[in-house]
Amino acid sequence: MEPTWPARRLAAAIAGKQLASRELLQTFLDRIERVNPALNAVVTLDTERAMRAASAADQAVAQGRPLGPLHGLPVTIKDAIEVAGLRSTGGAVELSGHVPQADAVAVARLRAAGAIVFGKTNVPRWSSDIQTYNELFGTTSNPWDPARTPGGSSGGAAAAVAAGLTSFELGTDIAGSVRIPAHLCGVFGLKPSFGVIPQRGYLDHVGGGTTDTDLNVFGPIARDPDDLDLLLGVLAGPEPERQTAWRLELPPPRRTTLEGLRIGLWLEDPRCPMDREVLAVLRAAADRLADARARIEQAHPPVGFSHQVGVFNHLLLAAVSPSLPAEAAEAVSGSHLRWLQADQDRARLRRVWARWFEDFDLLMCPVLGVAAFPHNHQGQLIDRVLDVNGQPAPHLALLGWAGLIGVVGLPSAVAPAGRTATGLPVGVQLVAPFLRDRDAVRAARLVSEVLGGYQPPPIDTLHHQVPPAGKR
């Protein structure tokens, strides 16, 4: 057994009695003890309760009882998501002692399918950064190079999945928070269609988790695209209060092979800096898909990049304003009239994308214009810049590709596309029409068969690395 096996394979081994849940849990715990000091991905453990649950899972297998699709799988959960009886902080000192009484709806669904929650993974404060660090737990590092960030805000989640510290992860994504870490850590991630997975229990401010946050979604992070499909089936569905009358039936993918799959390619825009090396990896990936007989065309919906990202930025500021001090929140959130106007603009953009997808199966575009970059916690996110092709690029400008897709609520699967000359992973967004989440997930499977998919990072060297400065 390898801890980097796909979750589906691990679950099959447990159900088939080739592997015990307790054995797998202990493997993850031993691995965390060995490599997590250099990563700081897992920040809270619940070992005793998890061991009891794993023993019960093994007993159920031995007795031949019915098993859920995730039976016996030990998992960690992003620390911005509430887990009953387990410290859940959102990366904020204000919630340093917060122990929820109930699971987030999505967590409850994972448990009902047989998963065992044994820990929490690190996030930036209120999930509001593209790096992962906070006052409570310090800095999380990338398993491909601990001097670099795993991204944010689900940085601890993606690092844990990449390093084989958990079976899979549950993250959140309001501005790329699943997609960016998946890209930077070389794993698969899914930003589902807005509203497909309940987001109750999301800790983005004190008192948060009781209502839905605009733009935000919950999404899985995994080492295999088939795991995304498995987890989508477990997680998707209406909120409990709507289950009396509502049902969700995501359609199967329209195409199951690369041949003839019509993919629009949108890899550059002057308003969003792209590192030459990352761009070269994506172009090479597109060429290889074309060689595999996918129909790759330089095409995208007739929308203005800057305009659509501008709508996203306006709605994003309103969505995250509850996490800010009162005066700042009032300043950035804008008027309700302005929000309604932006929402109308968003509805118009959704119609444009829907019409374009009548002729195309997918859009292929970047996740982020750079690969994993060195830790930089100076000042605030709004002040930070990166060198991209010899020019300064603000961190916020790099969010354009994530916002472009997020604002219209479309499903986007991230798949590894290759690596830079220095070995850093590069991911690609595979965007499908609204509620065609399984098309995006199937595309990730097809792409991985051509481009290679997940490769384990060199974690055997991690215990020799010096962790970045910061509170541990």
CA neighbor of 196 nearest in space, from 453, 441, 444, 448? 441
**7-15 vs 47-62: helix crossing angle, rounded to 10:** 50
Catalytic residue among 128, 141, 177, 193: 177
pLDDT of residue 344: 98
Q: Residue 460 above 90 pLDDT?
A: no
Question: How far, in Å, CA of 66 to CA of 410, rounded?
Answer: 35
Average pLDDT of the chain?
96
Torsion angle of C-alpha atoms 432, 438, 443, 445, degrees rounded to 10: 160
Does domain 7-464 correspond to CATH entry 3.30.360.10? Answer: no
Average pLDDT over residues 292-307: 98
The predicted model scores a pTM of 0.97
- Is position 78 annotated as part of the catalytic site? yes
Q: Where are the domains of the chain?
A: 7-464
pLDDT of residue 470: 46
pLDDT of residue 466: 52
Helices (H) and strands (E) in the chain, counts: 13, 15
- Other CB atoms within 10 Å distance of the CB of residue 140: 36
**pLDDT grade for 274, boundaries at 50, 70 and 90:** very high
Question: How far, in Å, CA of 373 to CA of 439, rounded?
Answer: 31
Give start and end residues of each alpha helix (H) in 140-191. 155-162, 179-185
Catalytic residue among 21, 88, 127, 153: 153
Average pLDDT over residues 279-299: 98
Catalytic residue among 21, 78, 128, 193: 78
pLDDT of residue 212: 94
Contacts of 347 (CB under 8 A, 6+ apart): none
pLDDT tens-place string over residues 205-245: 999 999 999 999 999 999 999 999 999 999 999 999 999 99
As a whole-number percent, the residues of the chain with pLDDT over 70 amount to 98
**How far does CA 356 lie from the centroid of its chain?**
26
Under a CB-based contact definition with an 8 Å cutoff, are residues 165 and 42 in contact? Answer: yes
pLDDT tens-place string over residues 51-76: 999 999 999 999 999 999 999 999 99
Q: Which residues face 263 on adjacent strands?
A: 296, 362
- Is position 177 annotated as part of the catalytic site? yes
Under a CB-based contact definition with an 8 Å cutoff, are residues 284 and 418 in contact? Answer: yes
pLDDT tens-place string over residues 86-137: 999 999 999 999 999 999 999 999 999 999 999 999 999 999 999 999 999 9
